[in-house]
Amino acid sequence: EKRAVTQIGKDGYPDSIYINAAKIFQGLRTEKSSGKILLRYGDISESPMLAFKDEQSRRMSYELAFKTLKYQDLLEEMLVDSKVYPCYSIVRKYFFEAFLFSVLIYETKLAAALARCRIKHDALSIEYFVPETISKQEQRTSALPICFWINTLKISLEDVIRDLEMKGFTKVESVSDFDHYTYAVDQHCQDVLVFPSSLKEELPNLDLVADCKLLLQ
């Protein structure tokens, strides 16, 4: 029986993704020194993390949180510049509702604030605002192959290979033979499959991943 996989709709992520991502962001965001604080974040430690619907929803929540962390400085500057939060405070109870409502109401102001930030910093794109350490790390990791553990409690290597072949994947001997819809069995561990980095966005949509038969390493 196939399970429904969490998808990004035309109106964005499901609400639970935004809520969990905000919770993750709050726990990982960079604390500013007193002289550099632009916004005061409310305490959301008491609000529980929602249960992830599936592996895809967990992945989406963390990806959204980390994408937001990349641009924390820019986002805070935009929120202040656009006067979305004139009191410079994000209240815990109303954080999600207020933020989403503000984005809709202040969409033009936020766009203008982004433009002013880019002009102020002479930035050709928003990638300028990504901290250099993160940018270099992303460049290195983006080229790395993607590894999945085979959940042998649910499926065998042979069945995984058969399923992948039915979906158009070709098994190759090593990563040097990768050509998009290909994969290789790890030479040191037969329970690990390696895929090209170019498939990063597609692999989470596989039934094998949604059913937790393949687990992202």
What pLDDT shows up at residue 90? 47
The yes-or-no verdict on residue 80 having pLDDT over 90 is no
More confident residue, 156 or 142: 156
What share of the chain in percent tops pLDDT 90? 16
Which domains does the chain carry?
15-138 (no CATH), 143-216 (3.30.70.1170)
CA atoms of 87 and 103, how far apart (whole Å):
16
Q: Output the pLDDT for position 11.
A: 58
Confidence of residue 65 (pLDDT cuts 50, 70, 90): confident
**Which of 20, 15, 12, 24 minimizes the C-alpha distance to 51?**
20
Residues whose CB falls within 8 Å of the CB of residue 96, separated by 6 or more in sequence, listed in order? 15, 18, 19, 22
pLDDT tens profile 38-49: 666 666 555 656
Report residue 91's pLDDT band, with 50, 70 and 90 as the boundaries.
very low
Given a cut of 60, whether residue 134 has pLDDT beyond it is yes
- On the question of pLDDT at 139 being above 70, the answer is no
Q: Which residue has the higher pLDDT, 34 or 77?
A: 77
In the DSSP assignment, the letter for residue 33 is P
Mean pLDDT in the chain? 76
Q: Taking Cα atoms as reference points, which of 172, 198, 168 lies closest to residue 183?
A: 172
Q: Looking at residue 71, what is its pLDDT?
A: 78
Residue 31 makes CB contacts below 8 A (sequence gap 6+) with none
